[in-house]
């Protein structure tokens, strides 16, 4: 199939492209769309065939459930079996935005969308194009990240084309994503609620509404074999370039020294502050004390490492607050939890 590239800079001026994308979604087709976190591969969440087509295009294991995206709070109720008491307060504080909530699902959500689970993950994105498309499609949209399964998530339309050209009906180009890492995922199906994937809505922010929220053990440590996983996504190697990734916890100077002692060839991922200290080749991913700048650059940097065909990458990591925790979680997964302190 040929993949249409639909440019949308302005919802009014580019109405025709927006309508093209909406018509494809209404027809049960696959369209990669921008959200504020990463690009999503969207299709009708209520159609078993549309969901199956998403798994096929991504090469995604069918037990890894999809996030269902809505554009108005009223769209939540039909998707869930019973309202969780904390949900209204969470939505009030964090929706629209980068928070996904796992809730008991209703029969309206087909098992193809929920990966066979009796729960459903729901999120209301804040990106104007995503919201407009959900509304115009007239149905909630299932949308996993629009990458081939296992690769880093796409943060611009070119990443989506690279991974999915010829496999999806259209890619909407709405420019680069602001956040750069996927949404925070929590579940309200456990008591107390649990953080399953860190993101731009941080633990500190969540505690304002859910004072007793816990971090799932799979977030910052490898799960033991045969462990019961709270989120199927945790089982899979993720966000990974083809290279072997090793995280190095060090300040700029010791990192540069460490690299000098390593056998070549390898590449480095480092911070803006390291330029001039670290020998080439390197790729910069944000500033040392600015988790948001790291989040915005991370997946593009991991994809660049693949473009350079690096086989080994040393990534400098530094203590990070807030969204820095999400960056660390993605890097742990990209490295298969391989971290050293020189
Ligand atoms: O920011 C995002 O969330 C992006 C954009 C496109 O919205 N989407 C995204 O989807 O990252 P995906 O499919 O790449 O990641 C969804 C994660 C997976 O790790 C999956 O296992 C988990 O959410 N998940 C989905 N439904 C779940 C459920 N019912 N219970 C537990 N985990 C669930
Ligand atoms: Mg993904």
At 317-328, the pLDDT tens digits run: 998 889 999 999
How far is the C-alpha of 68 from the C-alpha of 76, rounded, in Å? 10
Grade residue 95 by pLDDT with cuts at 50, 70 and 90: very high
Q: How far is the CA of 214 from the centre of ligand 1 (A)?
A: 18
Q: Is 113 in the pocket of ligand 1 (CB under 6 A)?
A: no
Q: Which candidate, 104, 41, 110, 27, places its Cα nearest to that of 69?
A: 41
Which one of 69, 129, 144 would you pick to mutate in the ligand 1 pocket, going by the greatest count of ligand atoms within 8 A of its CB?
A: 144
Residue 61 has pLDDT above 70, yes or no: yes
How far is the C-alpha of 199 from the C-alpha of 94, rounded, in Å? 12
Which one of 32, 36, 65 would you pick to mutate in the ligand 1 pocket, going by the greatest count of ligand atoms within 8 A of its CB?
A: 65
Note the pTM of the prediction, 2 decimals: 0.97
Q: How far is the CA of 257 from the centre of ligand 2 (A)?
A: 35
Q: Which distant-in-sequence residues (6+ apart) come within 8 Å of 161 by Cβ?
A: 3, 5, 171
What are 232's two structure tokens? Answer: 């199927």
Mean pLDDT across the chain, nearest whole number? Answer: 95
Which atom of ligand 1 lies nearest, measured to the CA of 98?
1
Q: Is 233 in the pocket of ligand 1 (CB under 6 A)?
A: yes
Which atom of ligand 1 lies nearest, measured to the CA of 42?
6
pLDDT attached to residue 291: 97
Residue 260 has pLDDT above 70, yes or no: yes
pLDDT attached to residue 150: 83
The residue that leads in pLDDT, 225 or 15, is 15
Residue 238 has pLDDT above 90, yes or no: no
pLDDT attached to residue 314: 98
Which one of 180, 233, 330 would you pick to mutate in the ligand 1 pocket, going by the greatest count of ligand atoms within 8 A of its CB?
A: 233
Q: How far is the CA of 233 from the centre of ligand 1 (A)?
A: 7
Phi, psi (deg, nearest 5) at residue 215: -90, 130
Residue 40 has pLDDT above 70, yes or no: yes
The mean per-residue pLDDT over the stretch 122-128 comes to: 98
Q: How far is the CA of 250 from the centre of ligand 1 (A)?
A: 31
What is the strand order of the sheet 267-270 is part of? Answer: 282-284, 267-270, 312-317, 244-249, 339-340
Going by alpha carbons, the residue nearest to atom 19 of ligand 1 is 233
Q: Which ligand sits nearest to residue 236's alpha carbon? A: 1
Residue with tokens 């990669």: 32
pLDDT attached to residue 228: 79
Which atom of ligand 1 lies nearest, measured to the CA of 143?
6
pLDDT attached to residue 236: 66
Q: Which distant-in-sequence residues (6+ apart) come within 8 Å of 36 by Cβ?
A: 97, 98, 125, 126, 127, 130, 177, 178, 179
The mean per-residue pLDDT over the stretch 248-267 comes to: 97
Q: What percent of the chain stands above pLDDT 90? A: 90
How far is the C-alpha of 188 from the C-alpha of 31, rounded, in Å? 30
pLDDT in tens, 282-320: 999 999 999 999 999 999 999 999 999 999 999 999 988
Q: Is 110 in the pocket of ligand 1 (CB under 6 A)?
A: no
Q: Is 80 in the pocket of ligand 1 (CB under 6 A)?
A: no
CA distances from 313 to 104, 281, 321 (A): 41, 10, 24
Q: Is 66 in the pocket of ligand 1 (CB under 6 A)?
A: yes
pLDDT attached to residue 119: 98
């Amino acid at each position: 199939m040929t993949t249409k590239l639909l440019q949308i800079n302005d919802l009014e001026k580019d109405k025709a492209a927006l309508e093209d994308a909406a018509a494809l979604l209404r027809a049960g087709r696959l369209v990669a769309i921008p959200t504020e976190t990463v690009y999503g591969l969207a299709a009708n969440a209520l159609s078993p065939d549309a969901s199956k087509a998403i798994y096929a295009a991504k090469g995604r294991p069918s037990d890894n459930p999809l996030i269902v995206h809505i554009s108005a709070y009223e769209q939540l109720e039909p998707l869930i079996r019973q309202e969780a008491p904390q949900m209204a307060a969470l939505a009030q504080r964090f929706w629209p935005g980068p928070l996904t909530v796992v809730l008991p699902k209703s029969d309206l959500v087909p098992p193809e969308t929920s990966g066979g689970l009796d729960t459903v993950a729901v999120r209301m994105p804040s990106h104007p194009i995503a919201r407009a498309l959900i509304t115009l499609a007239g149905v909630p949209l299932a949308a996993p990240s629009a990458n081939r399964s296992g690769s880093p998530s796409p943060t611009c339309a070119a990443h989506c084309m690279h991974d999915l050209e010829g496999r999806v009906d259209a890619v909407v180009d709405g420019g680069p994503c602001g956040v750069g890492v996927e949404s925070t995922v929590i579940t309200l199906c456990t008591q107390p609620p649990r953080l399953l994937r860190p993101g731009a809505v941080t633990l500190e922010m969540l505690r304002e509404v859910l004072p007793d929220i816990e971090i799932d053990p799979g977030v910052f440590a490898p799960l033991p074999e045969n462990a019961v996983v709270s989120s199927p996504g945790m089982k899979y190697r993720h966000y990974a370039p083809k290279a072997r990734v090793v995280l190095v916890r060090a300040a700029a100077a010791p990192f540069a020294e460490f690299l000098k002692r390593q056998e070549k060839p390898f590449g480095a991922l480092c911070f803006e502050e390291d330029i001039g200290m670290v020998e080439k080749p390197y790729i910069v991913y944000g500033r040392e004390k600015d988790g948001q700048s790291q989040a915005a650059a991370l997946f593009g940097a991991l994809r660049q490492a693949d473009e350079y065909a690096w086989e080994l990458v040393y990534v400098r990591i530094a203590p990070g607050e807030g969204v820095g925790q999400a960056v660390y979680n993605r890097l742990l997964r990209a490295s298969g939890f391989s971290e050293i302190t020189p």
